[in-house]
């Protein structure tokens, strides 16, 4: 099942993405469940994925996906955590050894944006860089989760673009990763029952149609299960929490010449069995003017 959050006529909604009549459509999840669940996060909190899947299968009403504005699949996560240097080739291009333990940092939830929404290049910097990643969403709360049981705590997977403002990141990771509208996330959440092996996915990042990153999640230094277990050792994981699993080699900062994203660019993160997260880039002044 593919779960999505979206905006329609100024209202935030959630639903399931389905293919009907040879086109992608979305079933309103609140209507299909007779108002029992008001958001994707609430579905996860109530462990209701099976009930939602059944309700969606019985719903005859759906609208075309291209008539809505997609939002981050989980619009209100309590935590957004991201890991750095989780591919050996990326660690090497960054001048670092492969880390013995995951290196985590945090993102603010209000930096997230959905498929089709514009990444905002801040007025303070031109050094706006792409980082295509696999992200997972937690489905069950837990602490001190064993590695062998960790995947059962994952609700599903999606694409993430951990956009970085590189000159600020050199001074402070928190600053460089938390400018507004720099965390594309989506387009939807593919539930874990459809992706039993997160170590067998192909990730491709494209900038204006050109491939700039390509790798398999089998190349992770720390697996999805290891990341979940590690995080649960220092914080209580809750349904809807997001963990971005790290980016492969090929970032713009390590190219010669460097390759920064600029207004008018289109960046895509594609992951096999999930889909394509696509966003354009605008300047901060354009974003504030509504262009």
Are 132 and 213 in contact by the 8 Å Cβ rule? The answer is yes
Distance CA 245, CA 150 (A): 14
Tracing tokens 């079933």 back to the chain, one arrives at: 27
Distance CA 16, CA 32 (A): 10
Peptide bond between residue 187 and the one before it cis (omega within 30 degrees of 0): yes
Does 152 lie in the same domain as 201?
A: yes
Q: In terms of residue numbers, what domain contains 54?
A: 2-70
- Residue 290's pLDDT is 57
Does 243 lie in the same domain as 108?
A: yes
Q: Can you read off the two tokens belonging to residue 206?
A: 């494209």
Distance CA 164, CA 175 (A): 9
Does 167 lie in the same domain as 35?
A: no
Are 222 and 86 in contact by the 8 Å Cβ rule? The answer is yes
What is the count of structural domains for the chain? 2
The domain boundary, picked from 41, 70, 99, lies at 70
CATH number at residue 192: 3.90.850.10
Phi and psi at 45, nearest 5°, equal -60, -35
- DSSP for 120-175, written as a single string: EE-TT-S-EE--EEEEEEE-S-BSS--GGGGGGGEEEEEEEE--EEHHHHHH-HHH
Does 125 lie in the same domain as 86?
A: yes
Are 155 and 137 in contact by the 8 Å Cβ rule? The answer is yes
In a domain, 179, yes or no: yes
| CA torsion angle 231 236 240 244 (round to 10) | -10
In a domain, 75, yes or no: no
In a domain, 13, yes or no: yes
- Residue 259's pLDDT is 98
Does 99 lie in the same domain as 36?
A: no
In a domain, 171, yes or no: yes
Are 120 and 227 in contact by the 8 Å Cβ rule? The answer is no
Distance CA 248, CA 182 (A): 18
Does 127 lie in the same domain as 17?
A: no
Distance CA 69, CA 9 (A): 9
Does 58 lie in the same domain as 89?
A: no
The domain boundary, picked from 70, 97, 120, lies at 70
Does 210 lie in the same domain as 139?
A: yes
Does 278 lie in the same domain as 200?
A: yes
Phi and psi at 283, nearest 5°, equal -75, 155
Q: Can you read off the two tokens belonging to residue 196?
A: 């039993």
In a domain, 219, yes or no: yes
- Diameter of the chain by CA atoms? 55
Does 95 lie in the same domain as 48?
A: no
Are 123 and 150 in contact by the 8 Å Cβ rule? The answer is no
- Residue 286's pLDDT is 82
The domain boundary, picked from 70, 88, 111, lies at 70
Tracing tokens 């591919």 back to the chain, one arrives at: 87
Does 224 lie in the same domain as 188?
A: yes
Q: What stretches in the chain show pLDDT beneath 50? A: none
Q: Can you read off the two tokens belonging to residue 128?
A: 């706006």
Does 173 lie in the same domain as 44?
A: no
């Amino acid at each position: 099942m593919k779960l999505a959050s979206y905006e329609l006529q100024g209202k935030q909604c959630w639903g399931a993405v389905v293919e009907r009549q040879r086109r992608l459509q979305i079933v309103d999840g609140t209507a299909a469940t007779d108002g029992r669940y008001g958001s994707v996060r609430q579905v996860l909190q109530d462990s209701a994925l099976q009930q939602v899947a059944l309700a969606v299968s019985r719903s005859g009403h759906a609208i075309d996906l291209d008539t809505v504005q997609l939002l981050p699949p989980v619009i209100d996560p309590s935590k957004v955590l991201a890991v750095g240097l989780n591919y050996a080739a990326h660690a090497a291009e960054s001048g670092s050894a492969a880390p013995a333990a995951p290196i985590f940092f945090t993102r603010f939830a209000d930096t997230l944006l959905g498929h089709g929404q514009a990444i905002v290049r801040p007025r303070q910097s031109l050094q706006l860089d792409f980082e295509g990643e696999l992200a997972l969403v937690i489905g069950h709360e837990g602490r001190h989760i064993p590695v062998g049981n960790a995947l059962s705590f994952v609700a599903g997977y999606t694409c993430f673009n951990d956009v970085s403002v590189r000159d600020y990141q050199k001074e402070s990771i928190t600053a460089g990763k938390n400018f507004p509208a720099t965390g594309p996330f989506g387009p939807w959440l593919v539930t874990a029952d459809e992706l039993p092996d997160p170590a067998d996915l192909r990730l491709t990042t494209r900038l204006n149609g050109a491939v700039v990153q390509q790798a398999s999640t089998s190349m992770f230094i720390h697996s999805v299960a290891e990341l979940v277990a590690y995080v649960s050792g220092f914080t209580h994981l809750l349904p809807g929490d997001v963990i971005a699993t790290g980016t492969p080699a090929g970032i713009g900062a390590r190219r010669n010449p460097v390759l920064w994203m600029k207004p008018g660019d289109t960046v895509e993160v594609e992951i096999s069995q999930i889909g394509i997260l696509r966003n354009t880039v605008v300047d901060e002044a354009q974003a504030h003017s509504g262009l």
